[in-house]
């Protein structure tokens, strides 16, 4: 699989990328472009800048919690950030990323990319509530990007954080209002990290969630 060095520059500014990982990411991007016509996986306006807007942005999840090996990614959609996390961890023993996506077409896409790249991803084609009801294993991290309000994300992540996970959520420019709303109902150990791709956005790193 070929790729331009310039394609990887934004990703390598976030995390180290081996030649093998770069090739896996290139396979992912090629499959994304192929499936985009039928599944509308990302906003068409972002496709030309997919390496920076989606791949590098998603790489910030693992960069925020670099020792995490077992993850749950809620509402995986096109695989951002969960599938990128899985690909970055493909050479790491014991890595496992659970991708939760209720849309069957998108779940099929995720399975295809996981198979073609050898990423340690397990796809769950079900709603988040259904997944949570049947999954009690401890994980290191919980992630989501462009999925729901911070309050809703905290609610579904809470049982996993209670078992020791750390939540890493991508939020946009309205992050401050979302934090204010969430803290009305939850006591949080929350650290905001400025996004290195979109300085107006934040990564919310949450280590403690307790209802008020």
Q: Please tell me the predicted confidence (pLDDT) of residue 40.
A: 82
Q: What is the mean pLDDT of each run of 10 residues along the chain (212 residues)?
A: 72 95 96 90 84 96 98 97 98 97 96 98 98 96 95 98 98 96 97 96 97 94
What is the per-residue pLDDT for 42?
A: 86
CA distance 183 to 187: 6
Pairing of strands 166-171, 202-211: antiparallel
Q: Which of 135, 200, 183, 134 is nearest to 163 (CA)?
A: 135
Q: For the whole model, what pTM was predicted?
A: 0.95
Tell me which residue of 92, 78, 77, 84 sits closest to 62, measured CA to CA. Answer: 84
Which CATH architecture fits 5-211?
3-Layer(aba) Sandwich (3.40)
Q: What is the pLDDT of residue 3?
A: 58
- In whole angstroms, give the CA distance from residue 113 to residue 146: 20
* Residue 30, pLDDT score: 95
pLDDT for residue 1: 53
**CB contact set of 123 (below 8 Å; sequence gap of 6+):** 76, 99, 101, 107, 110, 111, 114
């Amino acid at each position: 699989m070929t790729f331009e060095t310039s394609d990887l520059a934004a990703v390598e500014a976030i995390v180290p990328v081996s030649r093998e990982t770069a090739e896996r990411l290139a396979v992912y991007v090629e499959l994304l472009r192929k499936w985009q016509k039928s599944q509308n996986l990302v906003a068409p306006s972002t496709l030309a800048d997919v390496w920076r807007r989606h791949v590098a942005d998603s790489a910030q999840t693992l960069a925020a919690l670099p020792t995490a090996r077992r993850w749950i990614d809620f509402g995986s959609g096109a695989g951002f950030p969960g599938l990128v996390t899985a690909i970055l961890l493909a050479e790491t023993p014991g890595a496992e990323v659970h991708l939760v996506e209720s849309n069957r077409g998108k779940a099929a896409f995720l399975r295809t990319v996981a198979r073609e790249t050898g990423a340690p991803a397990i796809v769950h084609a079900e709603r988040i509530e259904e997944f949570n009801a049947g999954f009690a294993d401890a994980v290191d991290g919980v992630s989501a990007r462009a999925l729901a309000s911070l309050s809703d994300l905290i609610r579904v992540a809470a049982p996993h954080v209670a078992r020791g996970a750390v939540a890493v959520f991508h939020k946009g420019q309205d992050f401050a209002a979302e934090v204010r709303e969430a803290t009305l109902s939850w006591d949080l150990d929350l650290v905001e990290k400025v996004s290195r791709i979109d300085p107006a956005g934040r990564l919310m790193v949450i280590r403690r969630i307790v209802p008020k």
